[in-house]
Amino acid sequence: MLFSKEVAEVKYFKLVIVSVWMMLFGRKGKLKELTNKTVMTQENYLSAETCEKIKGIIDTLVDDAGNRRLWKDSLSSDNRILGFENDIGSLIDEFHIDHWIRAIDEYTGKRTRSWFLMANKLLPRNNNLGSGGGMHRDSAYSHQVKCIWYLSDVGTNNGPFCYVPDSNRSILKTANKYPIGQTRFEHMHDDIVEVVAHQGALVIADTRCIHGGKPIKSGCRYAITLYTSSDVHDKEKRIVNPDAV
């Protein structure tokens, strides 16, 4: 069993390795500024027509109790459909997945070997925690990137994506507030930025940052999220064509 000093040394070593890796192989290409910006937003990425068509598909699948790829939280506030690329036919072309996978790989310095889309319908319920179940990091150490498309207008009351600026790169400096290695945080010590945007907007985040969906108070938030992995460990995930990236 490792003593606390040894554990701390292992954590610092992991952070150093990640930093060196990013300096040598990552922080390149279209998303290189993500290191400093934490989150980037592009309005009007999807047309209103495309968004409305996809929202209709999501509604149908969320109402299908027999859908094995459907997940709901205990309040049925956060409703998720995994492997959503299988449900939208030619509309998948509107997302330009290969383009963003290539950009993600250039930023992380790793090669994506699997990916999937997650559709999300968020509904206001008493005591809901928001999408993602509270503020968290996707990884305590490595940099990861998520692309999130808003399919509906998202204001401060509609469960916007939220994040702590610079928390994707200031882990050592803020270790006294946010312990190294921890991925879930109940108490925040910094200002949180809400990403409010119109229907069709694309939000791109380095999800080593502390982030989460704000608890939704009104309306209904629809979104699509692109998940990528350098591993192939889930049969629901599609293998990326090497020639496409």
Output the tens digit of pLDDT for each of the chain's 245 residues.
455 777 778 898 899 999 999 999 999 999 999 999 999 999 999 999 999 999 999 999 999 988 999 999 999 999 999 999 999 999 999 999 999 999 999 999 999 999 999 999 999 999 999 999 999 999 999 999 999 999 999 999 999 999 999 999 989 899 999 999 999 999 999 999 999 999 999 999 999 999 999 999 999 999 999 999 988 655 444 444 333 33
Predicted model pTM: 0.92
5, amino acid identity: K
Per DSSP bridges, beta strands 202-206 and 114-122 are unpaired
Domain count across the chain: 1
HSE-CB of 94 using CA atoms within 13 angstroms: 21
CATH number, residue 27: 2.60.120.620
Q: Which residue has the tokens 């190294």?
A: 180
Which domain, by its residues, includes 45? 4-244
Calculate the alpha carbon distances from 157 to 34, 174, 183, 228, 229 in Å.
26, 29, 25, 29, 32
